[in-house]
Structure 1
Amino acid sequence: MLAVIRYTVPEAQAQEFAQQAHATLDTLAAQPGYLRGRLARSVDEPNLWALVSEWEGAGFYRRALSAARMAMYPLMILMLNEPSAFEDVYTQDRALQ
């Protein structure tokens, strides 16, 4: 399952936000069911950021959010209020040659 949390971050806060997001990913990575994560920034709208993580299932993700609440707290004011959990319906990996 894929988790995407988007943020609107003023340029003046970008460096501090990135540090806090790294700490959040570190906390999430220590949780059961975590597969991988990344912090991304829009190339078209530099104030738009995304914290993306992959999980073995929605239950793992939801429990991890509880564990990461304190690390995520400073970022919450910048978070877009929208659904963040997505179930895989179809995946296509690049073929190895």
Structure 2
Amino acid sequence: MLAFIRYSVPDARTGEFVASATGILKLFSLQDGYRDGQLGRSADEPELWALVSRWEGAGFYRRALSAARMEMYPLMTLMLNEPSAFEVVVSEP
């Protein structure tokens, strides 16, 4: 499954955000079912960021969110309120 958590980050908070998001990815990497993750920034809207990760299933992702909640808490005000968990329907190597 794919997880996309999008954030709207003002320029003044970019450094703090990148450090925190990197910490979240590191915590995710320690969780069961984690495959990989990335932090990306929109090429067209530089304040828009995405924390993307892949998991063996939705349950693994939801448990990882719980484990990382303290690390994620400071970024909650920057998070866009939208669904973040997506089931893979088609995959190409």
Shift of 1:92: 1.0
Unaligned runs of 5+ in 1: none
Counterpart of 1:89 in structure 2 is: 89
How many aligned positions are there?
93
DSSP 3-state at the match of 1:83: coil
TM normalised by structure 1 equals 0.95
Cα deviation digits, residues 17-73 of structure 1 (max 9, x gap): 000000011011100000000000000000000000000000000000000000101
Identity %: 66
Superposition RMSD in Å: 0.4
Counterpart of 2:60 in structure 1 is: 60
TM normalised by structure 2 equals 0.99
Counterpart of 2:36 in structure 1 is: 36
Structure having the higher Rg? 1
Q: Which 4+ residue blocks in structure 1 deviate beyond 3 angstroms?
A: none
Unaligned runs of 5+ in 2: none
